[in-house]
Amino acid sequence: MEGGAQVSVLSIGKALASKRMAEVYYCFPKDDEYCSVIDEHFIREVRTSTKRFVVPYRKLFEFKRLTNQVQTIVTEVEPDIVHSQMPASLLINGAIKTRKGLIRCHTDRGLYTGYRFPMRFLSVQALKKVDALITTTKLNASYWQEHTKKRIQVIPNMISEEFGPFDPSVRERFRLEYGTKDSLVLGFAGRMTEVKNWPLALEIVKNLRQRTRHFFVAVAMGVYKSSTREKQQAIEFVKNLSSIVGDRLIYKENASPREMSDFYYLVDIFILTSRFESFGRTAIEAMSRKCCVLGTNVGGIPEVIDDPDLICPQDSECFTNSVLSLTRDKELLESKQESLFRRFNETFSSRATISRQYELYLSLLEERR
């Protein structure tokens, strides 16, 4: 499983190239795992001491070296638009010198409130050189609006291109294959990190098991292969979950985008247990496959789901009661699934996202002429 920010960047770039005939170049740290999925012609690698871009208040000389490399790339490629996507990239975007007429954009795929003081201060300074700021939620836009006079456009994260149109026959096929056709399937997905709050997922399943036995649990977990700690935590989680639901557990580790697209077809109710979530990409992935989505009341999740009935505090009892209410009223469950599916198509589909992104680019270029 890839991170939401990276998936969005790659998906938007590919769609702009294929559907809008744009020439898109990606600038990644050298050895970044996401480079492997991009046509080599469009990669401009930046040599770094880590797999991330550094910030000046931590490694000033490294930051200057990175900025010089990006400067060289921009001079070589001569783009019309330079669009940074991550916090450290914003600082580089603001630091490079560009030719007259070039547009600079930045997308903040996090939350302003999630950054510490040095990054907040430097980001606001860098934005003075940027033509447009993009956020993924209205909530984050409201935070930034208090600190900058820059134009702010809300464009949601975009799911992978492997999530094609919903196909009910695929759902039927997978439900038969896994033996879940007539049973409720709860779904959980995310990386093995503290912010995803996997202990809450365990507690929800345990509480439900005490009140009903007619359900399966499907889990898709991302685990960094180089992290022994994460791997051990994942093993322990699966062991604990298996002790609760036995052979009614479906577990996927480090699933590809295609496998994730298939994964959600199995799920009736998807539960997002995060302690912090700037957007919640897994929520819209689940929506695209007609899942009902329950989420915590943190960050951008309530805005993405946009249904107070489906939002809970980080409390297992609330989630348990919500699941039981939905399963006892099949019409209500189907109504919520259909409503979220419509919301996905109207607001979060690839078509809707690319249109917003492309129209913003065109308007900025037109203003500059």
Alpha helices, DSSP H only, in the chain?
Answer: 4-19, 60-77, 87-95, 117-126, 138-145, 168-177, 198-211, 228-245, 257-265, 281-287, 301-305, 316-328, 330-343, 350-368
Residue of 253, 263, 264 whose CA lies nearest to 292: 264
State pLDDT tens for residues 181-232: 889 999 999 999 999 999 999 999 999 999 998 899 999 999 988 889 999 9
* CA separation, residue 183 to residues 107, 269, 290 (Å): 41, 12, 16
Q: Are residues 150 and 179 in the same domain?
A: no
Surface-to-core class of residue 100, CB atoms within 10 Å of its CB (0-12 exposed, 13-18 middle, 19+ buried): exposed
| Alpha carbons within 13 A on the beta-carbon side of 103 | 18
Beta pairing class for 152-154 and 311-312: unpaired
pLDDT band, very low/low/confident/very high, at 18 (cuts 50, 70, 90): confident
Q: Does the residue 18 lie in any domain? A: no
Domain presence at residue 1: no
In this model, does residue 99 exceed pLDDT 50?
Answer: yes
- The arithmetic mean of pLDDT across residues 291-305, rounded, is 98
The residue whose two tokens read 């805005």 is: 303
Q: What is the CATH number of the domain that holds 33?
A: 3.40.50.2000
Q: Is the pLDDT of residue 52 over 70?
A: no
Higher pLDDT, 43 or 82: 82
Given a contact cutoff of 8 angstroms between Cβ atoms, the answer to whether 275 and 291 are in contact is no
Count of structural domains, the chain: 2
Which range among 97-106, 128-137, 257-266, 288-297 shows the weakest confidence by mean pLDDT? 97-106
201 and 340 housed in the same domain:
yes
Let me know whether 125 and 196 are in one domain.
no
Which tokens sit at 186? 């709860």
Query: Which one of 155, 184, 199 terminates a domain?
Result: 155
Q: Are residues 340 and 213 in the same domain?
A: yes
Considering the domain boundaries, does residue 162 fall inside one? Answer: no
Look at residue 163 and tell me if it is in a domain.
no
For residue 294, what are the domain limits? Answer: 168-347
Residues 190 and 232 in one domain: yes
**Within a domain: 266:** yes
Mark whether 53 and 100 lie in a shared domain. yes
Measured from the Cβ of residue 355, the count of other Cβ atoms closer than 10 Å reads 14
Residue 224 lies in a domain: yes
My answer on whether 145 and 281 are in the same domain is no
Q: Name the residue type at position 247.
A: D
Max alpha carbon distance in the chain (Å)? 66
Q: Quote the distance between the C-alpha of residue 63 and its chain's center.
A: 26
Per-residue pLDDT, 40: 42
Beta bridge partners of residue 188, listed in sequence order: 219
Nearest residue to 241 (alpha-carbon basis) of 183, 211, 292, 199: 199
User: Is position 190 within any domain?
Assistant: yes
pLDDT at residue 46, as a whole number: 56
Q: pLDDT tens, 317-348?
A: 999 999 999 999 999 999 999 999 999 999 99
Q: pLDDT tens digit string along 55-69?
A: 888 888 888 988 998
Q: Is residue 363 part of a domain?
A: no
Among the candidates 155, 179, 198, a domain finishes at 155
Query: Could you tell me the two tokens for 292?
Result: 């009902």
Query: Of 115, 161, 108, which is closest to residue 137 (Cα–Cα)?
Result: 108
Residue 356, pLDDT > 90, answer yes
Question: What is the SS3 assignment for 345?
Answer: helix
Do residue 205 and residue 141 come from a single domain?
Answer: no
Q: End of a domain among 115, 134, 155? A: 155
Query: Could you give the angle at the alpha carbon of 7 between the alpha carbons of 5 and 8, nearest 5°?
Result: 65
Q: Are residues 125 and 258 in the same domain?
A: no
Task: Find out whether 55 and 77 touch, Cβ atoms under 8 Å.
Answer: no
Pair 191, 300 in one domain: yes
DSSP string, 69-89: HHHHHHHHH--SEEEE-SHHH
Q: What is the mean pLDDT of residues 37-48?
A: 48
> For 27, which DSSP code?
E
pLDDT per residue over 141-176, tens digit each?
999 999 998 889 999 999 988 899 999 999 999 999
Alpha helices in 178-256 (DSSP H): 198-211, 228-245
Do 151 and 172 fall within a single domain?
A: no
In this structure, are 137 and 202 located in the same domain?
no
- CA-CA-CA-CA dihedral for 174, 180, 182, 187, to nearest 10: -100
